Amino acid sequence: MNLPSKWARMDWPLLLIALALSAIGLLNVYSGTRVHGVPGTALVTRQLIWILLGVGAFFAVYFLSDGFIEEVTNGFFIAVLLLLVVVLLAGRVRGGAQRWIAIGAFNFQPSEFAKIAVTLALARYFSTKYRYGGIGLKELLPAIGLALVPFLLVALQPDLGSAGVFIFILAGMAVVACVRWKVLAFFAAAGASAIPVLWFFMKEYQRQRVLTFMNPELDPLGAGYHVIQSKIAVGSGGIIGKGYLQGTQGSLRFLPEQHTDFAFAVFSEEWGFLGSLLLLVLFLLLVYRLFFLTVRSQDRFASFACGGIEVFFLTHIVINLAMVCGLFPVVGIPLPFVSYGGSSMLTGMMALGAVANLSRSRFTFQGAGGKSSEIAS
């Protein structure tokens, strides 16, 4: 496929939605990092650089030749696993967890890339195992193994929030890849019964978070503080919000992590219910576009990969928003494109780039009168 035709088959809605979200995120970082009325320009500049790098990554992945992604999937998966091991051995400790690898002035989180690697690896695995009538238990077990290894490595950091995302991706892709309902039900039951075991493996602070999530007023100045302050930020925004740069919860530092995981709290304090609604609509468009491409892709690997990435975004969006709204325990999961952070931005853009790349195949079988001549290339 030549370059002009790649341009022609480019899925622009996908990129435009991502850019719109990134622009909102950039404005929000500017507001969220301002302290006592002084904006934090340094982080805004960095976030802008991350957006540009992200767009670069998007196109870099997009322009990969057809089939290349599928070919390198296994290699990518193994490389990322190795990185996760490196993080555990030599990572930078921040906030009690080893999540970052420093490259120059930039820190990045391999766990973010691992989410994409796992998605692609699962897509590839499921695409080879797919059969009419659904996949059985035997075929599902290796897929579980694929998700379990990075899950354990990330959980060891410890970053249970990100680790949990692997489970969601696995579950979501199992649905798309037509694992039999019986098998899924069995695993759902098994998962539910595993919760007490999980509790046993949790660190004290993680248990505390879950407990205070149930009742934040239990410890208003400790573990419940995040949730309470975040709800105050969101709720005090009202219908139309306090206005851009007028939020107080963030700028007076009542909100912790106000530009990263709690970016939405800053946003909804300043833009209110209407702003929140706009953001939700954008996210819904993103998810819908990914669904659309999942269904339209002409190739099982592409279809499963799109579906997996749809689950990836959906998981991030829903968990992050639920957390900010006090519906989910506080876990370190960023809001795609809106939260400050390079790994999250690059991962998001690369994931969309991969979707755009893989979904080019949908034009192949568009039928008579269309661009079906491409089939020859």
Residues that bind another protein (CB under 8 A): 36, 66-67, 70, 127, 130, 132, 134, 172, 175-178, 221, 229, 231-239, 248-249, 252-254, 268-269, 272-273, 276-277, 280, 283-284, 287-288, 291, 294-295, 297-301, 303-304, 307, 310-311, 314, 318, 321-322, 325, 327, 361, 364-365, 375, 377
Work out how close the CB of 16 gets to another protein at its nearest, in angstroms, rounded to a whole number. Answer: 19
Identify which of residues 187 and 304 has a Cβ nearer to another protein in the complex.
304
Residue 275 CB, nearest approach to another protein (Å): 9
Partners of 98 in beta bridges: 93
Task: Annotate 109-174 with DSSP letters as a single string.
Answer: -HHHHHHHHHHHHHHHHHHHH--TT-B-HHHHHHHHHHHHHHHHHHHTTT-HHHHHHHHHHHHHHH
Question: Would you say 15 or 169 has its CB closer to another protein?
Answer: 169
Largest interatomic CA distance in the chain: 66
Tell the burial category of 377 from Cβ atoms under 10 Å away from its Cβ (0-12, 13-18, 19+).
exposed
CB of 292 to another protein, least distance (A): 9
Using DSSP bridges, classify how beta strands 106-108 and 92-94 pair: parallel, antiparallel or unpaired: unpaired
Half-sphere exposure of residue 106: CA atoms within 13 angstroms, side-chain side: 16
Residues in the chain: 377
Q: Which is nearer to another protein, 48 or 70 (CB)?
A: 70
Q: Decide if 149 contacts 79 (C-beta within 8 A).
A: no
Residue 171 token pair: 């579950």
Min. distance of Cβ 307 from another protein in angstroms? 6
CB-wise, 25 or 307, nearer to another protein?
307
Quote the least distance from Cβ 146 to another protein, whole Å: 19
Distance CA 222, CA 367 (A): 61
183's tokens: 């098998």
Closer CB to another protein, 112 or 269, in the complex: 269
244 versus 291: smaller Cβ distance to another protein: 291
Q: How far is the CB of 280 from another protein (least distance, A)?
A: 6
